[in-house]
Amino acid sequence: MPNETIDSIAAGGIGNLAFYRMCAECGTHDNIQHVRDKLVFISRVYSVSRGLGGQWDALACAMVDRFAKLGELIETAQRTFFPTSLKAACEAHAFLDHLTCTQLINSGISASGRASFASKYLHFHAPDAFPILDTVASRGLRSLTPGFRTGMQKPAPYPRFCERLAHYMAVNGKQGTSLRHIDQELLAAGRP
């Protein structure tokens, strides 16, 4: 797998390279300022700022309060590459999504799910374990996997996306392909 922290092409550009490096160098979640800086960066660069309502300090504090669990979940998922990491990736994602929504609700912001934010935050901490879910990638994946039906009962958006992505990778011989590279394929297929 390419190393997104040293290769701007593998990272998908210099902005991504900077964020991969930031997450590699400050990868733990036990420092409020580091977590806040990562939240601000991802919010402003990756179009999730409206969904977080500017609650970076409160969210950073909540993540630091649960840093051991969050770190454990990320570490478990990154022991293997996606799609082998699918179950662990979905568990970590559900934890961060729930933590985020709970904190936003406690701050007076309506929140029913922040799947895109959670997937992006986790991806930059473990790029081979967590696919990025956003509307364009999801649209692209649906166009590349016509007729796919989930085997899950009432799946949440991220597990459904991951299951479909694992199917796409298996059918197209993409196991071992960088998730950043696959993300670029999905984005290209999802743009009008």
Q: How far apart are CA 146 and CA 124, in angstroms?
A: 29
Helices (H), 53-172: 56-65, 67-77, 86-106, 115-125, 135-144, 157-171
**What average pLDDT values come out for the chain (192 residues) when binned by 10 residues?**
83 88 93 94 76 88 95 96 94 95 90 87 96 95 94 89 96 94 96 89
pLDDT at 1: 78
| Displacement of CA 107 from its chain's centroid (Å) | 23
Q: How far apart are CA 23 and CA 1, in angstroms?
A: 18
